[in-house]
């Protein structure tokens, strides 16, 4: 079994006065947790307005360099912001991928020109980004993707299809992985690019969900031309970048800040008290288990953010965070349904509380799929942390264009 070592976190620097700034800003710009349910473009507009105000207050992109639109502060400032914001309803969900995945990729792998061009608008919310990996024939096995990018002079020409792209219908830019050399093994012939989502050669088709929302999309590329300098990272290094981005995604889902960091246990405890169920010993134990998982998320998140602040890409701890986050989402769903009962299964437009719990219930299972299924995370943990053998692959090392595909 492989040995793992845990390094102690360094003592954070002082953040004197910062907590007060954050509290004052949030009091003026956010309702407490659970007081608002926005939908559709109202939610996107609210996110952009909030992020713009955050940037104007010097509180956006806290740990990113000032020359690229950030605040140039420390990890300790980010930790303090996350701690204070847990009790406020930040309208930032439409920015989760833009800030939790695309922004770290630009900062970690972008050229200085790419950072200067794209990061300031991303941080301020003027431009929202999406991530495009999955395809109809490449879900958990992303490396099997078939979207092609062919070099033509100073441009790349892209043709193909992506699916399950969150927010593509309202995003301004996206990060895509495409196959640039089909004669190489599937993990070696991939490259990562920046794309303009407003290009007429991109077609976005929303997918209707069980909740009635359309947060996911199919995206089609037909002879899309990308400037050569919009290649992110090195040519044919797309798999290593995709792995890094998937880790950022898992961190965002499992240990992220903003709307992903909201603790559900306080609201559920209040709900149990209001419905006269707070003395049920079984329910009290389930609420305690939920609270414990929320603390686990917090500590994992602290360690991961320390790694990111030190310019290290999260490793398998991202899978640990993501798996815990998925279990946490399902636990919160089950407990909330037990307490709320039918009130969380049918509601009208004026029933904010019922809508909140029902929406959380319908979306909870998605946390076990987005960013890689629970089974994928367990495989990663088993192989990279526990040292277990990898699953056999009969086509390992074979050129992508020689491997049978359905």
- Judgement on whether residues 115 and 156 belong to the same structural domain of the protein: no
3-state SS, residue 190: strand
> Would you write out the chain's pLDDT as a tens digit for each of its 406 residues?
444 444 444 545 557 789 999 999 999 998 776 555 455 557 899 999 999 999 999 999 999 999 999 999 998 898 899 889 888 888 998 999 999 899 999 999 999 999 999 999 999 999 999 999 999 988 778 889 999 999 999 999 999 999 999 999 999 999 999 999 999 999 999 999 999 999 999 999 999 877 677 788 999 999 999 999 999 999 999 999 998 888 787 777 666 554 455 688 888 999 899 989 999 999 999 999 999 999 888 888 878 777 776 777 777 888 888 898 889 989 988 998 889 887 667 666 666 666 777 777 877 888 888 778 899 889 989 998 999 998 888 888 888 888 887 6
pLDDT recorded at residue 38: 52
- Judgement on whether residues 158 and 215 belong to the same structural domain of the protein: yes
- Judgement on whether residues 229 and 286 belong to the same structural domain of the protein: no
Count helices and strands in the chain by DSSP H and E runs = 12, 8
- Judgement on whether residues 211 and 155 belong to the same structural domain of the protein: yes
- Judgement on whether residues 63 and 121 belong to the same structural domain of the protein: yes
Give the side-chain half-sphere CA count within 13 A for 267: 22
Domain annotation covers residue 397: no
Domain annotation covers residue 340: yes
pLDDT recorded at residue 305: 74
Model pTM score: 0.81
pLDDT recorded at residue 290: 94
Domain annotation covers residue 293: yes
**Which CATH number goes with the domain that contains 121?**
1.10.540.10
Domain annotation covers residue 5: no
Domain annotation covers residue 249: no
Domain annotation covers residue 250: no
To the query of whether residue 249 is one of the catalytic residues in this protein, the response is: yes
pLDDT recorded at residue 4: 45
**Which CATH number goes with the domain that contains 174?**
2.40.110.10
- Judgement on whether residues 157 and 182 belong to the same structural domain of the protein: yes
**Which CATH number goes with the domain that contains 328?**
1.20.140.10
Which strand (E) or helix (H) includes residue 241? helix 238-255
- Judgement on whether residues 363 and 350 belong to the same structural domain of the protein: yes
- Judgement on whether residues 219 and 135 belong to the same structural domain of the protein: yes
> What distance in Å separates the CA atoms of residue 343 and residue 362, rounded to the nearest whole number?
14
286-289, Cβ contacts within 8 angstroms, sequence gap of 24 or more: 286/331, 286/334, 286/335, 286/338, 287/335, 289/331
- Judgement on whether residues 290 and 362 belong to the same structural domain of the protein: yes
Q: Which of 95, 127, 159 is the last residue of a domain?
A: 127
Domain annotation covers residue 140: yes
pLDDT recorded at residue 98: 96
- Judgement on whether residues 189 and 223 belong to the same structural domain of the protein: yes
- Judgement on whether residues 308 and 379 belong to the same structural domain of the protein: yes
Domain annotation covers residue 395: no
Domain of residue 144, residue span: 130-236
> What distance in Å separates the CA atoms of residue 120 and residue 404, rounded to the nearest whole number?
44
- Judgement on whether residues 114 and 68 belong to the same structural domain of the protein: yes
Q: Report the Cα–Cα distance between both ends of the chain, in Å, rounded.
A: 36
pLDDT recorded at residue 213: 75
Q: Which of 249, 274, 375, 391 is flagged as catalytic? A: 249
C-alpha distances (whole Å) from 120 to each of 51, 64, 130 are: 12, 10, 16
pLDDT recorded at residue 342: 75
Residue 249 · residue 100 · CB < 8 Å: yes
Length of the chain: 406
Number of domains composing the chain: 3
């Amino acid at each position: 079994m492989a040995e793992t070592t845990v390094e102690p976190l360094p003592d954070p620097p002082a953040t004197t006065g910062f907590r007060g700034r954050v509290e004052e800003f949030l009091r003026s710009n956010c309702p407490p947790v659970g007081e608002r349910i926005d939908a559709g473009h109202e939610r996107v507009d609210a996110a952009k307005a909030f992020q713009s105000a955050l940037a104007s207050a010097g509180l956006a992109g806290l740990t990113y360099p000032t020359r690229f639109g950030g605040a140039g502060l420390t990890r300790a400032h980010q930790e303090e912001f996350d701690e204070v914001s847990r009790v406020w309803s930040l309208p930032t969900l439409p920015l989760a991928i833009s800030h939790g995945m695309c922004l770290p990729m630009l900062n970690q792998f972008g050229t200085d020109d790419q950072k200067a061009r794209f990061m300031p608008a991303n941080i301020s919310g003027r431009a929202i980004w999406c991530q495009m990996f999955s395809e109809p024939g490449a879900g958990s096995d992303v490396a099997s993707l078939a979207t092609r990018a062919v070099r033509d002079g100073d441009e790349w020409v892209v043709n193909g299809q992506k699916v399950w792209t969150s927010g593509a219908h309202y995003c301004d830019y996206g990060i895509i992985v495409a196959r640039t050399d089909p004669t190489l093994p599937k993990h070696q012939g991939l490259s990562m690019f920046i794309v303009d989502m407003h290009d007429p050669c991109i077609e976005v088709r929303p997918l209707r969900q069980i909740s009635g929302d359309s947060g996911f999309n199919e995206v089609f590329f037909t002879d899309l031309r990308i400037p050569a300098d919009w290649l992110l990272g090195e040519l044919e290094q797309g798999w290593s970048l995709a792995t890094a981005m998937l880790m950022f995604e898992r961190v965002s889902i499992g240990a992220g800040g903003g709307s992903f960091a909201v603790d559900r246990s306080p609201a559920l405890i209040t709900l149990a008290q209001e419905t006269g169920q707070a003395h049920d010993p079984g329910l009290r134990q389930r609420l305690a288990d939920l609270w414990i998982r929320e603390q686990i998320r917090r500590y994992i998140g602290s360690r991961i953010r320390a790694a990111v602040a030190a310019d290290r890409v999260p490793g398998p701890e991202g899978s640990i965070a993501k798996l815990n986050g998925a279990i946490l989402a399902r636990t919160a769903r089950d407990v909330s349904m037990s307490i709320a009962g039918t009130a969380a299964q049918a509601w009208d437009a004026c029933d904010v509380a019922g809508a909140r719990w029902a929406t959380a219930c319908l979306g909870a299972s998605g946390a076990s799929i987005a960013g890689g299924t629970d089974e994928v995370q367990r495989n990663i943990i088993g192989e990279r942390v526990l040292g277990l053998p990898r699953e056999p692959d009969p086509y390992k090392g074979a050129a992508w264009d020689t491997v049978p595909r359905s």
